Amino acid sequence: MELTKEQFKADFERMLSDYFTMDVEKSDLTEQYVTLGKLIGSYAAKEWRNTNQRYLEKGEKQVYYFSMEFLLGRMLKSNLFNLGILDTVRAGLKEMGMDLEALEQVELDAGLGNGGLGRLAACFIDSMATHAIPGHGNGIRFKYGLFRQKFVNGYQVELPENWLRNGNVWETRRLNKAVNVRFYGNVRLEKDASGHFVPHYENEEIVLAVPYDTPVIGYGDNTVNTLRLWSAEMPLEDANTEYHAFIQQQSRIESISEVLYPDDSNYEGRLLRLKQEYFFVSAGIQSIIRTYKKRGLPMSNLAEKVAIHINDTHPALCVPELMRILMDEEGMDWEPAWDVTVKVLSYTNHTIMSEALESWPTDMMAQLLPRIYQIICEIDRRYAEDMARLYDWDMIERTRVISGGSVKMAHLAIIGSHSINGVAKLHTNILKEKVLRDFYHIFPSRFNNKTNGITHRRWLLLSNEPLRSFIDSKIGKEWATKPTDLKMLEPFRRDENVLRQLAEIKQINKQRLADYIRKRTGLAVWTDAIFDVQVKRFHAYKRQLLNLLHILSLYFKLKDDPGADIYPRVFIFGGKAAPSYTYAKEIIKLINAAADLINHDPAVRDMLKIVFIENYGVSLAERIIPAADVSEQISLASKEASGTSNMKFMLNGAVTLATLDGANVEIRDLVGEDNIILFGLTDQEVFQYYHDRSYHSYDYYKKNPVLHRVLDALIDGSIPGVQAEGRDIFDSLIKYGDEFFVLRDFEDYALAQKKVDMLYRDPLKWQEMALINIANAGVFSSDYTVLRYAAEIWNVNSKTRLF
């Protein structure tokens, strides 16, 4: 948008006085932040209305991205940038005596997600708006996002994260668009005059779903899409209930949108989670159908105007809910309703880990969602009947929706969708060949791959301004919306001047992170050391433990031989463990204990440091990733569906140290073997081990003296304060078979780390690798990912053509 500095200053002062009856000198940071947020909202409002008007007038097909999680992070800078007024506003604020960066810090991260899956949804809505894809987010407005992580004596402690405590300047509550969602009760089907079965409900509990809409502002375009998050409230008519009953019912109802991931270790917690899933699915679909009906088109044409995407299985109840609305409320028969449902819905699978494949006990489903359960039973019955003509009974049993007393959500999503995609080439192939091979056999044309992506605007242009300016100066500015232009950097690979400037930029970012580390932890780190970073959720398959065992081996090497030729390193960790995931929490404790030991041992001086930064989240990622030299992507091959932090690091010029897992394979294909450091088993070797049952972790402990020494350190008191944790972890590796092949990959990993050490000593060579990585990272922009979804799955328009 067009905005002069003078206009901005005048607008800001007026807004501040309207909201807080205040002038700049007397206002505090929060008031200034809220004012700026409201002002940005008012700037975006006109384009928001225009976008909706345009969609309506052109009769454009709309996409709704249903996701339990949206890990948005902060929005202030991104909104300013996307509106094209970042520099103007920064300068205007400065003239009024304010600092944009200080205002940015006031915003609390919207942490409505756990990790990669939720961040993917956030990247997708940014990219859809930027390329004028009519695509909107649909999810839950959790009052508390992911917990805040604190370390107490090295242990993770979870604290509530009340991200709404200062209000949320970006959202608008729309009570007039609220809908009712039904739970519990009895349902009877009765024939009406036309012979149609109509459900009659008794004793149901009604929950009012109130939408809060947030504008999703596209970059440099006039498109402003909508992120609609639902909040659970008491229905208005219940205001006549007796006082105490009212309060009780209110708190029960409001708990639906209270916390992301309720405690799933008990029945109540699991039930709440199922309520949440149906809550945002039902509210979302009801509101989509209401909007569609305004167009005056028949329900049988729904798939021409509406696509609904199911992000993982959490919204899989879209299948029976859309059927319910089409039949019970719109009077369609089963067959045409099913035809429409399958055409409207598409599904993304995010994991092959069996414990993450959702299923719900049939009795829980029947009690909480009686009508939905009836429809699921009928979907299952018809599926079994249809398949019986083509396949044997075993095949049907393996693939049907209801089996062993539970509802299989992935099966429901697959049977009810016209498209099923994996999130990286390797992952999609594993789905086809192993995890979903029966379904691939039955519905081959439904399967496709869409490799994940990241919005390169947030993950480079906004979070790494020194690198952004440098790239602009070399290849112009078009790469902001045409990220494969980054390829134009490749011819500079032997340009010493360019490589030196890249090194300087990395140094600036490392210094910025070092200052932050000092402020937050009191620890001084040497910025000439290699910054070796592993930041992601804590999970055994991601193998933070492998990283730690290697660090311990370096430590013992230095203890034995103080003159050992090791290039100085700062190992940086960040990440949360699920509150009930004891093993992952033990690894966190172990890393903190090792950090205590190593950081305070004068024998290793500045050679080795471990920094574990508390409370990893989007804003912290934006600070850490630009400062990384090495990107640790060391999951056991086959386990990480795609990974997206691997892409963020590559984009910022870190060299990837990786197994051939997820999208690491595609990074290798792009940059070549010389510009990535690979190690470890391949997915095929892992599957072979499973097949032969031939992995014996004890052998590696026995025959590798370095590993032996490191593992003994877990149990012999060498690392103070971890008796119990050290023993558990030792036992998991030696006694219980080392499920994720940590010991099998250790030696190869240590060799790869040695290679990192050697390569880093040649700064020009290292920066050349960094440059090749940056130049080839454009392919992983979520701009392309969503354009592929739009063209190949959703069949919707965008303003950008794909190649």
Applying CB under 6 A, the residues found at the interface with ligand PLP are 115-116, 119, 536-537, 617-618, 621, 643-645, 648
- Establish whether 648 is a catalytic residue: yes
Place of tokens 């002038």: 23
Report the residue number, 632 or 768, with the smaller CB distance to ligand PLP.
632
Least gap, CB of 653 to ligand PLP (angstroms): 17
Please say whether the beta carbons of 676 and 658 come within 8 A: yes
Q: Is 200 helix (H, G, I), strand (E, B) or coil?
A: strand
The whole-angstrom separation of Cα 23 and Cα 484 is 46
- Establish whether 350 is a catalytic residue: yes
The whole-angstrom separation of Cα 113 and Cα 107 is 17
CA distances from 326 to 285, 318, 343, 420 (A): 11, 12, 13, 23
Least gap, CB of 650 to ligand PLP (angstroms): 12
Q: Which residues of 51-74 are buried (b: 16+ CB within 10 A; e: fewer)?
A: beeebeeeeebbbbbbbbbbbbbb
- Name the active-site residue from 61, 408, 506, 542: 542
CA distances from 412 to 118, 203, 347, 383, 429 (A): 22, 28, 10, 10, 21
Report the residue number, 145 or 643, with the smaller CB distance to ligand PLP.
643
- Establish whether 536 is a catalytic residue: yes
787's enclosing H/E stretch is helix 782-789
- Name the active-site residue from 506, 648, 744, 788: 648
Report the residue number, 117 or 318, with the smaller CB distance to ligand PLP.
117
* Ramachandran category for residue 331: left, alpha or beta (phi over 0 → left; psi -120 to 50 → alpha): left
Least gap, CB of 459 to ligand PLP (angstroms): 8
- Name the active-site residue from 77, 305, 324, 350: 350
- Name the active-site residue from 314, 536, 609, 788: 536
- The type of residue at 761 is R
Report the residue number, 79 or 452, with the smaller CB distance to ligand PLP.
452
Least gap, CB of 618 to ligand PLP (angstroms): 5
- Name the active-site residue from 275, 408, 537, 589: 537
- Relative orientation angle of helices 763-776 and 742-760, to the nearest 10 degrees: 110
The whole-angstrom separation of Cα 149 and Cα 305 is 43
Least gap, CB of 617 to ligand PLP (angstroms): 5
Least gap, CB of 312 to ligand PLP (angstroms): 14
Report the residue number, 372 or 454, with the smaller CB distance to ligand PLP.
454
Least gap, CB of 116 to ligand PLP (angstroms): 4
Least gap, CB of 198 to ligand PLP (angstroms): 46
Please say whether the beta carbons of 590 and 548 come within 8 A: yes
Q: Strand 135-140 relative to strand 224-233: parallel, antiparallel, unpaired?
A: parallel
Please say whether the beta carbons of 546 and 749 come within 8 A: yes
CA 779 to chain CA centroid, nearest Å: 19
CA distances from 22 to 26, 101, 103 (A): 7, 21, 17
Q: Where are the beta strands (DSSP E) in 102-196?
A: 110-112, 135-140, 148-152, 155-159, 172-173, 179-183, 186-191
Q: Which residues pair with 573 in a beta bridge?
A: 534, 612
Report the residue number, 120 or 707, with the smaller CB distance to ligand PLP.
120
Least gap, CB of 646 to ligand PLP (angstroms): 6
Place of tokens 């459900």: 199
Report the residue number, 72 or 752, with the smaller CB distance to ligand PLP.
72
The whole-angstrom separation of Cα 379 and Cα 375 is 6
- Name the active-site residue from 348, 481, 644, 659: 644
Report the residue number, 417 or 455, with the smaller CB distance to ligand PLP.
455
- Establish whether 537 is a catalytic residue: yes
Report the residue number, 371 or 537, with the smaller CB distance to ligand PLP.
537
Q: Which residues pair with 359 in a beta bridge?
A: 408
Please say whether the beta carbons of 585 and 155 come within 8 A: yes
Q: Which residues are catalytic?
A: 350, 536-537, 542, 644, 648
